[in-house]
Amino acid sequence: MQTIGLIGGMSWESSLEYYRVINQRVKERLGGLHSAKVILYSVDFAEVEELQHLERWDEAGKIMANAAILLEKAGADVLLIATNTMHKLANFITEVTNLPLLHIADATAKQIQQDKIHKVALLGTKFTMEQDFYKGRLFELFSLEVITPDEPDREFIHKVIYNELCQGIILDSSKAKYLEIIAKLERDGADGIILGCTEIELLIQADDCAVKLYPTAKIHAAAAVDYALSC
């Protein structure tokens, strides 16, 4: 079993979910008392969030690169960024380490392709929904058609992520609004919904709506275990 290096803390609530899913997957695969070999580097999310909203991405990238270097030195064999948005800075990591970086969008897209779905909607931070680093990858590498909510809905989704979910606050009113947005996207032709922020999975679960959901944290974590056990 290879050792998974996890760049977490963005937020720590979703990092907990990564750790749980990774170990649950190892238990399912190997049984008994087996657990995952994981090294976690947890950043201070307040520092990262400020840099995100100030659009000082190069400085945030240096934080990611430093985390990757330290994880490699600590003995990691493969790296994961435990957040969707910060995959915008994946190149900062690949430039400073030779370790494989398992991209969250790739793991999610492969699952969507297995389900023979071609048109999906993407929920996440405004950075993820509006910039091309995520949508473009899904289209260019996997030929997926990706739609996003309208601007007011994107703003609402973004605010709930940072002001509520990242702080461990779960509100029924926010869940109801998210489900309204998902229903609109389904009417617009989406056959699947990518929960493209790892915190959204704390709010919306598969049995909340009829359309197929793709919880990226769970998919990413499971893919990491499968990789670690295959080498």
pLDDT confidence of 16, banded at 50, 70, 90?
very high
pLDDT value of residue 169: 95
Tens digit of each residue's pLDDT (9 = 90 or more) over 107-159: 999 999 999 999 999 999 999 999 999 999 999 999 999 999 999 999 999 99
- At residue 47, the pLDDT reads 97
Q: Tell the residue number behind the tokens 């499971």, with chain if given.
A: 222
* Cβ atoms of 146 and 120 closer than 8 Å: yes
Question: Do residues 109 and 212 both lie within one domain?
Answer: yes
| Per-residue pLDDT tens digits for 19-56 | 999 999 999 999 999 999 999 999 999 999 999 999 99
pLDDT at 192 (0 to 100): 97
Tell me what percent of the residues of the chain surpass a pLDDT of 90.
98
Q: Is the pLDDT of residue 217 over 90?
A: yes
- Regarding whether 196 and 97 lie in a shared domain, the answer is no
- How far is Cα 105 from Cα 124, in angstroms, rounded to an integer? 12
Number of domains in the chain: 2
DSSP one-letter string for the chain: -PPEEEEE-TTHHHHHHHHHHHHHHHHHHH-TT----EEEEE--HHHHHHHHHTT-HHHHHHHHHHHHHHHHHHT-SEEEESSSGGGGGHHHHHTT--S-B--HHHHHHHHHHHTT--EEEEES-HHHHHSHHHHHHHHHHH--EEE---HHHHHHHHHHHHHTGGGT---HHHHHHHHHHHHHHHHTT-SEEEE-SGGGGGT--GGG-SSEEEEHHHHHHHHHHHHHHH-
pLDDT at residue number 115:
97
**Percent of the chain whose pLDDT exceeds 70:** 100
Residues 98 and 108 in one domain: no
Let me know whether 42 and 114 are in one domain.
Answer: no
Note down the domain range covering 185.
104-216
Tell me: do 198 and 114 sit in the same domain: yes
- Looking at the fold, whether 183 and 119 belong to one and the same domain comes out as yes
pLDDT of 231 > 90? The answer is no
List beta partners, residue 38.
4
Average pLDDT of the residues in 190-214: 94
pLDDT for residue 185: 97
Q: Is 98 found in the same domain as 131?
A: no
Cα–chain center distance at 201: 10
pLDDT at 85 over 90: yes
Which pTM value belongs to this model? 0.94
pLDDT at position 60, please?
97
**Domain match, 127 and 190 both:** yes
**Alpha carbons 69 and 82: distance in angstroms, whole number:** 16
205 shares a domain with 224? no
Place 80 in a pLDDT band, splitting at 50, 70 and 90. very high
List the catalytic residues: 83, 197
Q: Give dist(CA 83, CA 8) in Å, integer.
A: 7
Give the pair of three-digit tokens for residue 39.
Answer: 């090294």
Find all residues with CB under 8 Å of 6, minimum gap 6, and list them.
Answer: 15, 18, 19, 22, 38, 39, 40, 41, 71, 79, 80, 82
Assess whether 212 and 111 both reside in one domain. yes
Residue 52 confidence (pLDDT):
95
Question: Does residue 23 sit in the same domain as residue 75?
Answer: yes
Average pLDDT, the chain: 96
CATH code for position 67: 3.40.50.1860
| 96 and 199 belong to one structural domain | no
